[in-house]
Amino acid sequence: MTIALVAIILAIGAGAVVAVSTREPAAAAIGLAIALVGSALVADPLPSAAILGVRIVAGLLAATLVRSAVGGSESQPSPLGWPAEAMLATAGAVAGIGVALALEALSGATGLAGGPDSGSEWLTVMALATGAGTSLLVLGAASSIHGRPGMRRAIGLVLVTQAVLLIRVGIAGPAIDLEEIARAALLVATAATGAALARAGATSE
């Protein structure tokens, strides 16, 4: 499952970069949806169909709420451009994986195949989830802080929330069913808040 998880992590990063760097609201919403749906799949093994459904529906609903906040108006592009955003995401992922591996070494945690000497299995679920979380955290924080209230800031708030949820899973392990519902509600509530801020910013202009 490690190769599949790596592919999912790459998709999450690519979607987030598109979401925060494109000028097109529709493309930004699609990128955000890819990042959020991909985040729902970061698990080994995958959760039950019900929990997976809750995660995916919450991600799609969050992306829809953010997209609906701006109508047909143009979103705020990244002042750095997508190459710089991609470098930030990569740096965040590498830092997160490094932190996770250090924590695993301190706690004596084993890899997916049984331990630190398991060759390619050093990329554990914990490391990948934490790396994805820190990658989204870097992109989301930059988007949330910089610029006027708008779609890009709303996307940033959602990415920061998803980042915290991924880091929690990476460090503390899978959540129980009730927590999964609370996590989904938090993600949707953050998207609704970001959408409200985007609408308020558009009205005040």
Provide the 3-class DSSP secondary structure of residue 169: helix
pLDDT at 191: 93
Given a contact cutoff of 8 angstroms between Cβ atoms, the answer to whether 151 and 77 are in contact is no
Name which of 17-21, 27-31, 101-105, 163-167 the model is least confident about: 101-105
**Tens of pLDDT, residues 25-81:** 888 899 999 999 999 999 878 889 999 999 999 999 999 999 887 755 555 666 677
Given a contact cutoff of 8 angstroms between Cβ atoms, the answer to whether 25 and 74 are in contact is yes
Nearest Cα neighbor of 35 from 53, 8, 58 is 8
H-helix segments, 42-176: 49-68, 82-107, 125-145, 151-172
pLDDT at 114: 40
- What mean pLDDT comes out for the span 187-197? 91
Provide the 3-class DSSP secondary structure of residue 113: coil
Amino acid identity, residue 74? E
Nearest Cα neighbor of 161 from 25, 78, 62 is 62
> Tokens 């989204």 sit at which residue?
136
pLDDT at 111: 44
- What mean pLDDT comes out for the span 184-199? 90
Number of domains present in the structure of the chain: 1
* CA gap 112, 104 in Å, rounded: 12
pLDDT classification of 167: cutoffs 50, 70, 90: very high
**What are phi and psi for residue 138, nearest 5 degrees?**
-65, -50
* CA gap 37, 60 in Å, rounded: 7
Range of the structural domain that residue 123 is part of: 2-204
